[in-house]
Amino acid sequence: MKLVRYGEAGNERPGMIDADGNIRDLSAHLADVAGKAIDPASLESLARLDSNTLPLVDGSQRLGPCVAGTGKFICIGLNYSDHAAETGATVPPEPIIFMKATSAIVGPNDDLLIPRGSQKTDWEVELGIVIGRKAKYVSEAEALDHVAGYCVVHDVSERAFQAERQGQWTKGKSCDTFGPTGPWLVTKDEVPDPQNLPMWLKVNGETMQDGSTKTMVYGAAFLVSYLSQFMSLLPGDVISTGTPPGVGMGMKPPRYLKAGDVVELGIEGLGSQRQQVRADG
C-alpha cells in the first residue's frame, strides 16, 4: 500500500495510490497519515479497503511530505561503506547519529532553497524508515514490527555549515527545504527486503548517485533497535539511513548545487522526487 498526502502546504489531505497510479482520497477513513493511523494494525485495516470505491483525486495535485506529525527526524552518517570511502572517512564502529530539524521537511517536488551564504549545498538520496508504533528498548528481531513503512528522503546538506563552522552537523542539515520526503509512504509489506533497493540521483539529467541499500553498514532493523536503546521512537518519526557514493563533496573537484539546477532522485519501489533549485531570499 502506498499512502500520500496531497494538497496545499499545511492543508494536505490523506490519500492512497491505486493500481493505476491515481490518488484516491482517504479523508473519510483517517484525518491524516500520522499517529495511530500508521500503526501497523491500523494499516492492515486500511489495506482491506477497495481503492476503487474511494473518491478519485485530480492527478495534478501537489504532493506533501508523505507522513505528518514527525517529532524526530533522525539521520545516520557514513552508513554506506562505499560512501565513507569516497569521503576518506572510516566506517564508524557504531552508527553516527545526528538530528535534522523537522522544519526542513517539505514535499517531494517542492523547490529546494539554497540558504543565504551557501556555496556548498550538496545532495544525498536516502532510504527513510517511518515509525508506526512506539519503540523503546526493542530487539533487532522485533524492530520492524514497529515500522509503518519506507520512503525516499533527500538529505540535503550544506557542507560548509556542516563541517567548517564548528559544532555539530545539525546546522548544515536543517535549512528550510533540506528534507524532501516522499512521494509515498510505502508500507513494509511491499518492501520485503529493505537491504536490496537500488537508488539513484541526477542533477540536470546527469547521474550522480547510482547505488543500493545493499552497501549499508547498519541495516534498517539494526538502526531501529539501536536508536530505541537511547530514545523512544514514536509514530511519525523518520530515520534517514545514509547515502551511497556520488555526493558533490566527494567529487574531484567538488561540485555543488546552484540556483537553476534540477535534482531528480528515487528508490526502486518507493517512487521518485524532483526539485527545482533556487536561492532563498
Residue with cell 497519515: 33
**Computed over its alpha carbons, how large is the radius of gyration of the chain?**
18
Position with higher pLDDT, 121 vs 84? 121
- Please report, rounded to a whole number, the percentage of residues in the chain having pLDDT higher than 90: 89
Domain boundaries, the chain: 65-279
pLDDT band at 139 (very low <50, low <70, confident <90, very high): very high
Residue 84 has phi, psi (to 5 degrees) of -60, -40
Judged against a pLDDT cut of 90, whether residue 62 lies above it is answered with: yes
CB atoms within 10 A of CB 151: 28
User: DSSP assignment, residue 252?
Assistant: S
Dihedrals φ, ψ of 101, to 5°? -60, 140
Q: What is the pTM of this model?
A: 0.96
Look up residue 2 and give its three cell numbers. Answer: 502506498
Answer positive or negative: Cα dihedral of 40, 140, 235, 18.
negative
Q: Whole-number mean pLDDT of the chain?
A: 95
Strands 121-122 and 157-158: antiparallel
Got the DSSP string for 49-112? S-GGGSPB--TTPPB--SS-----EEEEES-BHHHHHHTTPPPPSS-EEEE--GGGEE-TTSPE
Pick the CATH number of 65-279 from 3.90.850.10, 3.30.750.210, 1.10.10.10, 3.10.180.10: 3.90.850.10
C-alpha cell at 109: 517536488
